[in-house]
Structure 1
Amino acid sequence: MKAISLMQPWASLVAIGTKKIETRSWSTEYRGQLAIHSSKGFKKYLRQLCCEEPFKTVLNKAGLSLDNLPLGRVVATCKLVDCIEMTPEFIDRVKSAKGHEYDFGEYAVGRYAWILEDIKALDNPVPAKGKLSIWKWEGKS
């Protein structure tokens, strides 16, 4: 299965189904099953972000906190169904939608929105060494 590494808290936000658009500076032609891997590194500014709103409340509702976010593990699987170059109109649609999707991404014209569907959190996240770009995960979901 193909995989992509995301830093925390974004990996867990995808796993709990709150983040369904992964924002990237690059596009991909790949469509299909995708494992979501949480990077092992957890920088100070990302740890602080977990204590700020809306991150803190959303994570807490899912039983997650700064102290128990899985690191260096595949946390979910999903389907990557589209990759859209962001336009002002697209960004406005995301910004005006219900929920916190806009808060959980980096939206700017020229960046890319990876549209994720059929997200399934793994009951027991699987240890894995991440890589840059899209990579092949040999584990089982």
Structure 2
Amino acid sequence: MGGKNQGNYTIPCLTLHQPWASLLVHGIKRVEGRSWPASVRGRLWIHAASKVPDTATIKAMEDFYREIYAVDGISDLKFPEHYPVSKLLGCVELVGCIKCEELVCWEGLPEGVKLEGQTDFCWLCEEPRKLVVPIEMRGYQRIYNLERKIYEEAVRGLCPIEAPSPVKFPLPDPQDPLSLKPGFLASNHDCSKITKVAESRSLDAAIAGSQAAAAQFSKKRSFRYSAIQEEDMPVSTRTRNKIKEEMLGNE
């Protein structure tokens, strides 16, 4: 069965707010940032939460990705035309999860990918695929199992994505116990020397803008949730539950 977190993930799905959800499924976003480590590997379905993204947030995130791709000489980014909500959008292959410090110090990765690491844990995503027709559904917090009926419909509607700069993360060989994990030598090296990104006002502004957009979103969500918990506020149980359901993804 699909539904809320069950721990035993057979068809794992993650709900994200827009524009992050579409950027991931379209292969523009290659690292999903979380405050908690990934508990699954393999195919991860991506669902867009119900909150409609505002223009400022979309612009901030698109500017951010334009600038970090420009670091690697890529300037022809094509962003999604629409950012649908309350829809299953597609899937990615979740190949690993490392800490931000490891991503920044990981030699062999494009510099733009390293700049995507803005949170504690970095979920490494490859092989994005999108649904030709997104499927309307509700989401849940954290990772949950996709309903079997929806899954069977979704697998028939997937199509590959031509990502602007797909990444094959050079992860350790699981058969080789001596393989070093990403950032293993970080404690003995100056990461500022390893990650040589040219100083740029536009890049700094883009990073600041993306962080501000995420922070502002988080602030609004936290404020709204704390407000409904005040004892003197006449809020119905139905309203409380609805607000809680909106607080999905990007935690």
TM-score normalized by the length of structure 1: 0.76
- Alignment pair present for 1:5 and 2:25: no
In the alignment, which residue of structure 2 is the partner of 1:62? Answer: 79
Structure 2: give runs of 5+ residues left out of the alignment: 1-10, 67-74, 155-251
Whether contact under 8 Å (2:15, 2:47) holds in the other structure is yes
What pairs with 1:37-76 in structure 2 (closer than 5 Å)? 37-42=47-52, 44=54, 47-52=55-60, 53-54=62-63, 61-64=78-81, 68-76=82-90
Structure 1 unmatched runs, 5+? none
SS in 1 for 2:59: coil
1:21 aligned to 2:34? no
Q: Which has the larger radius of gyration?
A: 2
Contact 2:104/2:114, CA 8 A, preserved across alignment: no
| 1:1-141 equivalences in 2 (<5 Å) | 1-42=11-52, 44=54, 47-52=55-60, 53-54=62-63, 61-64=78-81, 68-87=82-101, 89-91=102-104, 97=110, 99=112, 102=115, 106-107=118-119, 111-138=120-147, 139-140=150-151, 141=154
Distance 1:6 1:85, change over 3 A: same
Do 1:49 and 1:55's aligned partners in 2 also have CA atoms closer than 8 Å?
no
State the secondary structure of the residue aligned to 1:48: helix
**Deviation of 1:97 (Å):** 2.9
| Bigger helix fraction | 2
TM-score by length of 2: 0.45
Distance apart, 1:43 and its partner CA: 5.2
Contact between 1:12 and 1:75, CA under 8 Å: does it hold in 2?
Answer: yes
Contact 1:5–1:38 (Cα < 8 Å) also in 2: yes
Q: Is the 8 A contact 2:48 2:86 kept in 1?
A: yes
Count of paired positions: 129
Higher share in strand: 1
Instruction: List, as ranges, runs of 4+ consecutive aligned residues in structure 1 with deviation greater than 6 Å.
Output: none
Quick one: which amino acid aligns to residue 113 of structure 1? C
SS state at 1:30 partner:
coil
Give the CA deviation at 1:20.
Answer: 1.3
